[in-house]
Amino acid sequence: MKTQHNNSGKNHKMQPGKDKPSYKKTDKTKTYGKKFDKASKYAEIPDYKKAKVTDKKKFSDKPVRKNKIKSFENDPYSTDGRQENLKMNHNRQKNSGYKETEGTRLNKYLANAGICSRREADTLITTGLVSVNGKIITELGVKVMPGDEVKFNGERVNPEKKVYILLNKPKDYVTTLDDPQGRKTVMDLLKNACSERIYPVGRLDRNTTGLLLLTNDGELTKKLTHPKYNKKKIYHVVLETPLKVEDMEQIAAGIELEDGLIAADQIDYVDGAMNEIGIELHSGRNRIVRRIFEHFGYNIKKLDRVYFAGLTKLNLPRGKWRYLSEKEVIRLKTGMYE
């Protein structure tokens, strides 16, 4: 007899000790067991491999009902509608004297080059340390056009190539570029990884292990960390004491924390071990997993992030890192794994 819990409200009762539940999601093609804490063996079949265009159900020969046929006249989301909107916008800009420009804002250009952050770049610009094509720039909002020569302190600035590194973070490393207390940081594990200035995407606390992405791509970082994008994360939690079934059901249904309501997308025991939990969340709130279990008085012995936005720990042992493939970067940017 197996028990599944999710936030849909359909929970089944289970008698601890008699039944041996396993962590299985509603989708039978996804099974999670002890592979959670074995980095070199953990893998999940990506959704893009499951979806096959040969699915006959998607290409039904049944006639379309007339009341389902939609007129695309004046529809802004149709091809004709988009073209019409573009023409209207172009004419409006033309009549108002608007001049189309391309390029990159100067502060973003400096940040992409690894000189500093955008906020720090604004300070450098206003103090007169940056020039474009030989002219000192002190106003914010200036755009750098293709072919422009940008200099900082008299030296030419070249845009950095984008770097994407996936780290299987070990315990006792803080997720920061530099620690005032002298503790080990994740950057100590990446000293020879690249010459570019990279930074962590999100944060794992010192005692949490697992997947951590580092990059110098600011746009992708925003997309992966902003709450509105809700990227999927899966954690393997080891508690000091067994998790009660009724507490698990409450976590699935939703609980109220100091910063609002939170509910697990999926949660269940791992291979029948009552103190080992697999939990899936889309929330990126600070220390959210620990706070969920602390709400019920449980102490977390181990916390490991095994899945992040479509990335897994496959062939990535603890403390090791690797570059993302081009396909993985494309999937992250296109939002294939929401």
3-state secondary structure (DSSP) of residue 49: helix
The CATH number given to whatever domain includes residue 113 is 3.10.290.10
**Is residue 179 domain-shared with residue 215, that is, in the same domain?**
yes
3 state SS for 103-167: CEEHHHHHHHCCCCCHHHHHHHHHCCCEEECCEEECCCCCEECCCCCEEECCEECCCCCCCEEEE
Residue whose C-alpha is closest to residue 317's, from 105, 41, 71: 41
Please state, in angstroms and as integers, the Cα–Cα distance from residue 293 to each residue in 22, 166, 183, 238, 240, following that order: 19, 27, 27, 11, 11
Q: What local confidence, expressed as pLDDT, does residue 94 receive? A: 47
| C-alpha–C-alpha distance, residues 53 and 55, integer Å | 5
Range of the domain at 148: 104-156
132 located within any domain: yes
Q: What local confidence, expressed as pLDDT, does residue 155 receive? A: 85
**Is residue 168 domain-shared with residue 222, that is, in the same domain?**
yes
On the 0-12 / 13-18 / 19+ scale of CB atoms within 10 A, 217 is buried
326 located within any domain: yes
Residue 1 DSSP class: -
| Residue 151: strand pairing partners | 131, 156
**Is residue 119 domain-shared with residue 218, that is, in the same domain?**
no
219 located within any domain: yes
Residue whose C-alpha is closest to residue 199's, from 232, 172, 155, 164: 164
Domain end residue (candidates: 156, 184, 218): 156
Please state, in angstroms and as integers, the Cα–Cα distance from residue 338 to each residue in 68, 93, 254, 262, following that order: 28, 35, 21, 18
The answer to whether 173 touches 206, Cβ cutoff 8 Å, is: yes
**Is residue 149 domain-shared with residue 180, that is, in the same domain?**
no
Taking residue 170's Cβ as centre, other Cβ atoms within 10 Å add up to 15
**Is residue 132 domain-shared with residue 175, that is, in the same domain?**
no
**Is residue 216 domain-shared with residue 319, that is, in the same domain?**
yes
- Consecutive 10-residue runs of the chain (338 residues): their mean pLDDT? 49 47 46 45 47 43 42 44 51 45 82 80 91 91 88 84 94 92 94 88 93 91 82 95 96 94 94 94 90 96 95 94 92 78
94 located within any domain: no
75 located within any domain: no
The answer to whether 182 touches 337, Cβ cutoff 8 Å, is: no
Q: Indicate the number of domains in the chain.
A: 2
210 located within any domain: yes
**Is residue 147 domain-shared with residue 168, that is, in the same domain?**
no
**Is residue 117 domain-shared with residue 133, that is, in the same domain?**
yes
41 located within any domain: no
**Is residue 187 domain-shared with residue 211, that is, in the same domain?**
yes
**Is residue 109 domain-shared with residue 222, that is, in the same domain?**
no
The answer to whether 199 touches 222, Cβ cutoff 8 Å, is: no
Residue 40 DSSP class: T
Active centre residues (catalytic): 205
242 located within any domain: no
**Is residue 172 domain-shared with residue 218, that is, in the same domain?**
yes
Residue whose C-alpha is closest to residue 170's, from 39, 32, 314, 308: 39
Q: What local confidence, expressed as pLDDT, does residue 159 receive? A: 75
Task: Tell how far CA 264 is from the center of its chain.
Answer: 17
| C-alpha–C-alpha distance, residues 279 and 204, integer Å | 16
Q: What local confidence, expressed as pLDDT, does residue 51 receive? A: 46
Helix extents (H) in the chain = 47-50, 79-95, 106-112, 118-126, 218-225, 245-253, 288-294, 326-334
**Is residue 207 domain-shared with residue 320, that is, in the same domain?**
yes
The CATH number given to whatever domain includes residue 324 is 3.30.70.580
Whole-structure pTM value: 0.61
**Gyration radius of the chain over CA positions:** 25
